[in-house]
Amino acid sequence: MNTRIVLLVDDDQAFTKVMTRALTRYGYRVDVAHDAEAALACARDYRYRHVLLDMMLGDHSALHLIEPLRATCPEARIVVLTGYASIPTTVKALRLGASNYLAKPVGVREVLAALRDDLRASGETKPISLKRLEWEHIHRVLEDHEGNVSAAAKSLNMHRRSLQRKLQKRAPKD
């Protein structure tokens, strides 16, 4: 069994392309599934040793996939990726059988460290800055409201003009 094959389960086409390209440069083969059914079908066809699972697939949590993936691939390191990290979801994912939990945006080195269970390498990474978290949350809410600034501002409980000013800024660097 080749231990350098990763199942990447994520519905974000751009993220899967970038992560696939990055992992390929490090010698991994990446199989991509964009929904729960495809992920389980891939896992039944090949017993993966590494699984990267986005916590949100569409509008639904993918945490329910951890147990069937664990049953199909008992030796797999399942790493949950999320843009909305919280202590309760981290605890739930780990209790369901995830091996690790990483907050997006995540770099390939962090992913590789989590896949290898190299705690020293993953401990060297800096936490996401508060400004970056705010920026990502604002853009996610805007995306949820299909680009409607007024609806996003109302959802964020802020004035529309304040939101427009924040949207004119670039993403903060960590």
Q: What is the pLDDT of residue 3?
A: 66
Higher pLDDT, 129 or 75: 75
Torsions phi, psi for 132 (to 5 deg): -65, -40
The two structure tokens encoding residue 127: 């936490």
* Total H helices, total E strands in the chain: 9, 7
Q: What is the pLDDT of residue 35?
A: 87
**If pLDDT is split at 50, 70 and 90, which confidence band does 112 have?**
confident
Does residue 58 come out as left (phi exceeding 0), alpha (psi in the -120 to 50 range) or beta?
left
Q: Are strands 77-82 and 100-103 parallel, antiparallel or unpaired?
A: parallel
Q: Rounded CA gap, 50 and 162, in Å?
A: 43
In the chain, what are the domains? 5-123 (3.40.50.2300), 130-167 (1.10.10.60)
Q: What is the pTM of this model?
A: 0.66
